Amino acid sequence: MSLASSLFSFRSFRSRLIVFLLALLIPVLGGIFYYVNTNNTEYTEETINSYLELGADVFDYTRDQQALTLQAITNSLTWDFGFRAAFAANDPATLFDAALNVMDRSFDSADMLLITDLDGRVIIDTETQGMDLLEGSWLQLLNAADADEDGHAEMIITIDGLPFQVITVPLYLPRQVAWIVGGFALDQEFVEQVKETTLSEVSIVKLEQMSGSENPDLEVIVSTLTRSDQSLLAEQMLFGDAQLASLQRIRAMSQDYTSLLRRLYGQEGGVLQVFAVIQRSYQENSENVVQFRSLLIQFYLLVLVVSLLAVLFLARSIATPLSRLVGVVKKIEEGDYDKSVAVESRDEIGVLADSVNSMARGLAEKEKVRDLLGKVVSHQIAEQLLNNPIELGGEERVATILFSDIRGFTTFCEGLPPKEVLTALNIVLSTISDIVESHQGVVDKYNGDAVMALFGVPIKGEHDTANAMAALMEITQALEEMDSGLSACVGITTGVVVAGNLGSSNRMNYSVIGDTVNLSARLEGLTRLYNVSNIVSEASRDEAPNFAYRELDIVCVAGKSQAVRIFELLGVEGELSDSIKAEVAAYAQALNAYRSQNWEAAEQQFSQLRIKCDNSQLYQVFLDRIEKFKENPPAPDWQGEYVFASK
Amino acid sequence: MVTSNMIFTGSRSTSLHEKGRALLLIAVSSFALCAPLASAQQIVIRLLDDDGTAVRDAVVELLSDSAVAPTSLGMQEAEIDQQNKEFVPTVTTLVAGGSASFPNSDDILHHVYSFSSAKTFDTPLYGSDASSEYREMFDVPGVVEIGCNIHDWMLAYIYVGESGLMAISDEAGEAQLANIPPGEYRLRVWHSRLDAPKNSIEQDIVIAAGGSEAVELTLELARDRRVRRAPSANRKRYR
């Protein structure tokens, strides 16, 4: 599976096309090649076979023709009156000379003559084999002639190992008195003659079974082959009746020969057997096949090259607009929607290009909307709006709400033209907004110089409250550093809010509502009373334990019956100075005395704090309350909470 | 008392054959017609082959030690004509010392020859004009095979006999000899295809005085290889 997928995974469309082309073309071309080649080879072999058959026929025909010529000559001889007279004279020497004369005049058609009487007594024999009475094959020959109506018979007989084609003619004087046997040798001259006609190699091979030896001796008597090929022939060729019907392939020195066997003399297993071997060069005949094969290969190469070019062209026509599309899509991915694809074609790629173009336009438009939205609302809210169906309604979420206000802004504005006021306000609000966003907060809304920011909605983070604390510290510090007499007062609460789109179906606003939000605004408002830069709720403090706080009070804000413990964020845990720590400890002690209604001690401690510490207003608040409580003691179940009747 | 007037012994008949095969079978269907004329003996010899077919052109001759000398029979003359490129007749008998002439009745030339030991001769090429009449003497008894060197198929036999008592079998295979003095004879039968030495067989025969005798002989004939007659001139491509 992985192999297949790795095999068929392509880096480019072009290589895929090429591989598919080759996968398609090569089997088809290969199949055609195999078919054509096989058929051609078969045809060639058939051709060679027929050539060989033809060669064998020509061999026989030449033999027959020469035998006929020999017969004609010998026949004419018998009607020669001089020869008749010589025969009648009963003088073998004269007859012998007459026979030699005939052979001499025969243009090599007659190589030997033998005359016997009707009882088989040899009268003359130009081969001087020393026979008195005919024997063996010669007797067989005459018996065959005797059985023939015209006294004709023919045979192949070996004389001194050389095969002779022999024929018989009766000698009439005017009745038959003798047999004349004429013969010509199947010698080198003969095989050369056959070769000239058939363009096939011809050999005559003798197998002689010597007494005592297991295998017959094999001798190539005459042959048109070279000496070395003759011995290779003798080594490789099988001789027998079984081989007469089939062809044999002989590997010679320089080439292969297909060979056909003809029995000339003897029988299977006989003492003497003579075969003719007709051979044809395999290479010579397969030249056409080889040529055709190379032509075919050239043609295939041409087809492959043309197909490859066509595929490359096709691939280019697809891949070029595709890669242009890829480029544009990549640009789009990077946020550049200005590029468009120029594809002229009206095919699928053209359609795709059009789609990409319109997609780019759509994305550009969306981006524009997103940009604009980001300016009006926070980026995270914009994302929330863009990515979710905009519906009215919301969900309950735990969030941290930061309320920030600028103290001393009214004073700051006095005597300044409105435009400069706005510029200054924008600078301050931008600063606050940037700080909020840098701590993953979301500016929910501006209200004059006040900013409401959300942490934990719409996207929940891991340290939302801590982020809010960090933002608080940074805002406070940023405004101090502005050195414009402005300072920030911030309230932070954490709790369940309802977050969602508020408003009408035509016009809505992503925001949060709930007690937590209200409390946050109240806490911000209380900073003026306690003269602190911030107040955070107990829930917020618990959520961000890595900061240092001091408990300010327990209050019941307007409209709420539930008392909440409020804290002042002092800084990062462990970074507080010793004097602050001492003040915080003293304050805690005083607060404790206050809550346990030990008014004398509380009054004394707060008074000391008021004298020693900067925030005299804070301690004055408690001194004022103690004064009142001395006259009007709180209820017996009083826990130290202070109820604010108004906002 | 009627006695057999023909003497034949099987052993003698087999002795005639070197090969020891019973080549000569004599049908013993001989019969005698007792006639009052003592000096007028007639013998009919009927020759059949293995298949019972009549054998024609066979020569029968009666030989006797006491036979009259041939010369006393007077000079015999025979004529062997050449008609339509054939010898006519094909078998001729002559008593030794007789002669034969070879007239040419064809309008082409012939070249008559013989290489037989009984008479070797050859004529020049000759035609039908009267100036070229060739006659040959046949002194030695035996069979002379006559051929034509131009027409290989032409073949004739002259049987040169020792006695005058010769006859040639006719189409019915019958050879008749008349006016034979009674006595012991050797009957010789010759035929060109007879499968025996010199193509002849002999047997003893006694000719009784008076009456007529018939002897039937079965001859074993060898297959004869003859030269086939060449196609006639008008069938040739060139005239």
pLDDT surpasses 60 at B17: no
Tell me the one-letter amino acid at A248: Q
Q: Is the confidence at residue B231, as pLDDT, over 80?
A: no
Looking at residue A11, its pLDDT comes to 73
B195 close contact with A: CB closer than 8 A: no
Query: What CATH number is associated with residue A24?
Result: 3.30.450.20
Chain A and chain B share a number of CB contacts under 8 A equal to 38
| A434 in Cβ contact with A511 (< 8 Å) | no
Q: Is the pLDDT of residue A317 over 90?
A: no
**CATH number of the domain at B10-64+169-219, out of 2.60.40.1120, 3.40.50.2300, 3.40.50.720, 2.60.130.10?**
2.60.40.1120
- Pairwise pLDDT comparison (A548 vs A459), residue with the higher score: A548
Write out pLDDT tens, residues A550-589.
888 888 887 777 888 999 998 888 888 888 888 888 888 8
Neighbouring residues of A203: CB distance < 8 A, sequence distance ≥ 6: A191, A220, A222, A223, A224, A225, A230, A233, A276, A277, A279
Could you tell me if B82 and B89 are in contact, meaning their C-beta atoms sit under 8 angstroms apart?
Answer: no
Q: What is the pLDDT of residue B160?
A: 93
Alpha-carbon separation of residue B167 from B61, B62, B88, B192, B199 (angstroms): 7, 9, 17, 15, 16
Residues A476 and A621 in one domain: no
Every domain range in chain B assigned CATH 2.60.40.420: 75-161
Look at B225 and A176 and tell me if their CB atoms are within 8 Å: yes
Same domain membership, residue A344 and residue A235 = no
pLDDT of residue B21: 34
A546 vs B213 pLDDT, higher one: A546
Residue from B123, B227, B228, B229 whose CB has the most chain A CBs within 10 Å, to mutate: B227
Please tell me whether residues A514 and A416 are part of one structural domain.
yes
Among A185, A206, A234, residue at a domain's last position = A185
Of the residues A170, A185, A200, which one is the last residue of a structural domain? Answer: A185
Confidence (pLDDT) at A5? 59
Instruction: Write down how long chain A is.
Output: 647
Tell whether A425 and A552 lie within a shared domain. yes
Is A379 within a domain?
no
* Fold adopted by B75-161: Immunoglobulin-like (2.60.40)
**Which token pair is A67?**
């035998």
Q: What is the mean pLDDT of residues A449-469?
A: 87
Q: How far is CA A334 from CA A331, A338, A339, A372, A611, in A?
A: 5, 11, 12, 19, 63
Q: Looking at the structure, do residues A136 and A257 belong to the same domain, yes or no?
A: no
Cα distance between residue A297 and residue A303, in whole Å = 10
Q: Which of A87, A150, A172 sits opposite B152 (nearest CB)?
A: A172
Task: Report d(CA A539, CA A515) in Å as an integer.
Answer: 13
| Residue A507: how many other CB atoms lie within 10 Å | 6
Least confident of A142-151, A485-494, B24-33: B24-33
Strand partners, A407: A487
What would the mean pLDDT of A176-203 be, rounded to a whole number?
90
The 3-state DSSP composition of chain B as helix, strand, coil percent (nearest 5) reads 5, 40, 50
B4 touches chain A (CB under 8 A): no
The pLDDT tens digits for B34-57 are 333 445 478 899 999 989 999 999
Cα–Cα distance for residue pair A43/A285, rounded to 1 Å: 10
> Are residues A102 and A228 both part of a single domain?
no
Does residue B18 belong to the interface with chain A, where contact is any CB pair within 8 Å? no
Within 8 A by CB and 6+ apart from A337, the residues are A331, A360, A361, A363, A364, A367
What pLDDT does A646 receive? 67
Q: In chain A, positions 140-169, which contact chain B (CB-CB < 8 Å)?
A: 149-151
Residue type at position B97: G
How far apart CA A618 and CA A591 sit, in angstroms, is 12
More confident of the two residues A400 and B213 = A400
A77 Cβ under 8 Å from any chain B Cβ: no
Q: Which residue of B has its CA nearest to A76?
A: B152
Q: Please indicate whether residue B212 or residue A28 has the higher confidence score (pLDDT).
A: A28
3-state class percentages of chain A: helix first, strand second, coil last, to nearest 5? 50, 25, 25
- Do the Cβ atoms of B149 and A81 come within 8 Å? yes
Contact (CB<8Å) A172/B227: yes
Structure tokens given for A173 = 């004087």
Establish if A170 touches chain B: CB-CB under 8 angstroms: yes
| A176 chain-B contacts, CB cut-off 8 A | 225
Residue B63 has pLDDT above 60, yes or no: yes
- Yes or no, beta carbons of B152 and A174 under 8 Å apart: yes
Chain B residue nearest residue A151, CA to CA? B225
User: Tokens representing A104?
Assistant: 């001499």
Q: Is residue A315 part of a domain?
A: no
In a domain, A250, yes or no: yes
Kindly list the distances between the CA atom of residue A92 and the CA atoms of A79, A86, A101, A183, in Å, as whole numbers in the listed order.
Answer: 18, 9, 14, 19
Tell me which DSSP letter residue B50 carries: T
Which of these, A55, A39, A28, lies nearest to A288 by C-alpha position?
A39
- pLDDT, tens only, A195-238: 998 888 999 998 888 877 778 888 898 999 999 889 888 888 88
Please check the confidence at residue A46 and state whether its pLDDT lies above 90: no
Residue A363 half-sphere exposure, CB side, CA atoms within 13 Å?
18
Q: Which of A169-183, A328-342, B9-23, B73-87 has the lowest average pLDDT?
A: B9-23
Verify that A278 and A421 share a domain, yes or no. Answer: no
Residue A385 has pLDDT above 80, yes or no: no
Using CB atoms, which residue from A88, A150, A151 is nearest to B115? A88
Least confident span in A133-137, A400-404, A468-472, B20-24: B20-24
For residue B114, the model assigns a pLDDT of: 93
Same domain, A454 and A355: no
Let me know if residue A630 belongs to a domain. Answer: yes
* Inter-residue contact A451 to A441 (CB < 8 Å): no
Closest CA to B9 of B32, B31, B28: B28
Residues in chain A within 8 Å Cβ distance of B149: 79, 81, 84
Q: What pLDDT is stored for residue B14 in this prediction?
A: 33
A79 touches chain B (CB under 8 A): yes
A492 within 8 A of A468, measured Cβ to Cβ: yes
Spatial distance between the Cα atoms of A262 and A279, rounded to a whole number of angstroms: 11
Strand partners, B92: B158
Q: Is the Cβ–Cβ distance between B87 and B154 less than 8 Å? A: yes
Q: How many CB atoms lie within 10 A of CB B5?
A: 21
What percent of chain A stands above pLDDT 70?
96
Residue type, A330: K
Please give the backbone phi and psi of residue A51, each rounded to the nearest 5 degrees, phi first: -60, -40
Assess whether A478 and A550 both reside in one domain: yes
Residues of the domain holding A586: 577-647
B147 touches chain A (CB under 8 A): yes
A178 plus A31 within the same structural domain: yes
Residue B207's beta-bridge partner residues? B183
Q: What was the pLDDT predicted at B28?
A: 32
Q: Do A81 and B111 touch (CB under 8 A)?
A: yes
Are both A194 and A176 inside the same structural domain? no
Residues of chain B with CATH 2.60.40.1120: 10-64+169-219
Give me the residue label for tokens 């959300």: A454
What pLDDT, on a 0 to 100 scale, did the predictor assign at position B11? 33
Number of domains in chain A: 5
Q: Residue B208 pLDDT > 90, yes or no?
A: no
Here the tokens at position A429 are 């609000």
Whether A430 contacts A509, CB under 8 Å: no
Tell whether the model's pLDDT for residue A194 goes beyond 80.
Answer: yes
CB contact under 8 Å between B115 and A172, yes or no, is no
CA-nearest residue to B192 within chain A is A175
Q: Is the whole model's pTM more than 0.95, yes or no?
A: no
Query: Taking the CB of residue A322, how many other CB atoms lie within 10 A of it?
Result: 18
> Among A34-43, A102-111, A390-399, A419-428, whose mean pLDDT is lowest?
A390-399
Kindly state the greatest CA–CA separation across chain A: 197
3-class secondary structure, A496: strand
B158 pLDDT band, cuts 50/70/90, is very high
Most confident region among A80-84, A363-367, A508-512, B45-49 by mean pLDDT: B45-49
Give yes or no for a contact between A501 and A390, defined as CB atoms under 8 angstroms apart.
yes
Q: Do A146 and A213 belong to one domain?
A: no
Supply the angle between the helices A188-198 and A13-78 in degrees, to the nearest 10.
130
pLDDT of res. B23:
37
Q: Which residues of A fall within a CB distance of 8 Å from B122?
A: 81
Higher pLDDT, A593 or B33: A593
* pLDDT band at residue B131 under the 50/70/90 scheme: low
Mean pLDDT of chain A: 85
Mean pLDDT of A8-12: 69
| Nearest Cβ partner for A84 among B115, B145, B154 | B115
Query: Residue A647 — pLDDT band, cuts 50, 70, 90?
Result: low
What lies within 8 Å, CB to CB, of B207 at 6+ separation is B5, B41, B43, B62, B180, B181, B182, B183, B184, B185, B213
Q: How far apart are the first and last CA of chain B?
A: 73
DSSP letters, A340-398, are: -------SHHHHHHHHHHHHHHHHHHHHHHHHHHHHHS-HHHHHHHHHS---BEEEEEE
